[in-house]
Homo-oligomer: A and B are copies of this chain.
């Protein structure tokens, strides 16, 4: 009686918490895949009955939103006041890419669920602040933020899709690629080496450079002339 029933004393399970649930979900996703995540698997991970999870999370969608929130909360947004807005913007988009690299399998979840928490809004705030510092008006700042976000998201999704295709190619061999109409797909075939030898990092930087360069060329209000730092 005194040794088995009060197992809470000698087996102090760390108390089920929304945070621990989300953490276990992220770990499971990263260890296996996003499709492998189920309430039952998460419960098993925490050595807990399935329905106990529902005391802390209303449903699976909310859990996934929690996962997305936790991941974006990992964004490292250092706000070095010394750096230019260009470098700030670069750092912001790169920070996004870094968490995508740290949590590759969870990234799909982030990109397909709303993140309307403070953690999700923080990068938005940072982008707007940078555009403001660069001298763009409010409407333009919002558009710039959206364009940068679109690129950050798209680059990641494209890369993930690419890896899926490459993985498929390794299974089936290259013959499935060769029966393409050599006339219609002349460039795809001709550029085969360049397409195969892909360097995700420099691809990413290339597109990012394009956007930053375009932003620099954009007319803006108080500080249109170079060399005039903002006060």
- A residues with CB within 8 A of B: 108, 111-114, 116, 118, 121-122, 124-125, 128-129, 132, 138-139, 141-143, 146-147, 149-155, 157-158, 161, 164-165, 168-169, 176, 180-181, 184-188, 190-191, 193-195, 198, 202-203, 206-207, 209-211, 213-215, 217-218
What is the interface of chain A mostly: helix, strand, loop, or mixed? helix
Contacts of A209 in B (CB 8 A): 214
Partner of A128, one of B113, B165, B187: B187
Q: Are B187 and A125 in contact (CB under 8 A)?
A: yes
Partner of A111, one of B161, B184, B203, B215: B161
Q: Are B143 and A203 in contact (CB under 8 A)?
A: yes
Contacts of A141 in B (CB 8 A): 187, 191, 194
Contacts of A114 in B (CB 8 A): 161, 164-165, 168
Contacts of A152 in B (CB 8 A): 154
20 new A-B pairs (CB below 8 Å) besides A132-B187, A152-B154? A113-B164, A114-B168, A118-B180, A118-B181, A118-B185, A122-B185, A124-B188, A129-B187, A138-B193, A142-B195, A143-B203, A146-B158, A146-B203, A147-B155, A150-B154, A151-B151, A154-B154, A210-B214, A213-B217, A214-B214
